[in-house]
Amino acid sequence: MSSEHNIMFCSLKYYNSSIKNILEIGTYDGINAFLLSEIFPNSLIDTYDLPDNSIEFSSIYNRSDISYLEKFIIDRNKILFKKKNIVFNQSNSMNLTFVNNKKYDLIWIDGAHSYPVIPIDIMNSLRLINKNGIILCDDIILKSNNYNQYSSKASIETLSILKKAGIIDYTLFYKRLSVEHNSIPNNRKFVAYITKI
């Protein structure tokens, strides 16, 4: 399940060597935070995900099976705790509205992709990003009739409104380049490269 955002992270290292503070919204299995810690070894990565013991956490990504959930948590924690520059926060990302005023050079948004969470995550990211910082938002869907967690247009609708208001600019690039992911327009996903104006 590789994604072009991995290449973008590697490119950013050479484009902007001053990336020191990174925020990741949506830890999932910890692999992306680990990748960021390898690419930016002198940075500090704050990664946020839902608390392990929350109903929200166990009800998504087929984690309702207790044995799978326990293994998932153990495997994720092994990855996260290998690196000293990763700080894992078990907290709903919407709490960033109240608890975090730290500024970041790079923000990766990959939490919930539907209303009301994604607009809040995007707005919090705009508040927390340093001047000339970069925000990347995963799983942008342009064509969908659904508003569920996995196929919502909430991200692109939020970004479009912010761009029309003159608050941001953004560019989309394919999340994956394979034919199987891009041959059917409704199945295409993008990553947004977002900058504050």
Conformational region of residue 28, where left means phi above 0, alpha means psi within -120 to 50, and beta covers everything else: left
The whole-number pLDDT of residue 1 equals 55
Nearest-angstrom CA–CA distance, 195 and 197: 6
Angle between helices 66-80 and 31-39 (to 10 degrees): 10
pLDDT at 100: 67
Residue 87 near residue 45, CB atoms below 8 Å = yes
Q: Which of 24-38, 62-76, 82-96, 141-155 has the lowest mean pLDDT?
A: 141-155
Q: How many domains does the chain have?
A: 1
Q: E-strand spans in the chain?
A: 21-25, 44-49, 86-90, 104-109, 129-140, 168-174, 190-196
Pair 100, 121: CB distance under 8 Å: no
Percent of the chain with pLDDT over 70: 98
User: Can you give the CATH number for the domain in which 13 is found?
Assistant: 3.40.50.150
Q: Which among 7, 42, 27, 23 has a CA at the least distance from the CA of 75? A: 27
Which band of pLDDT confidence, cut at 50, 70 and 90, is reported for residue 101? confident
Q: Residue 65's domain spans which residues? A: 4-196
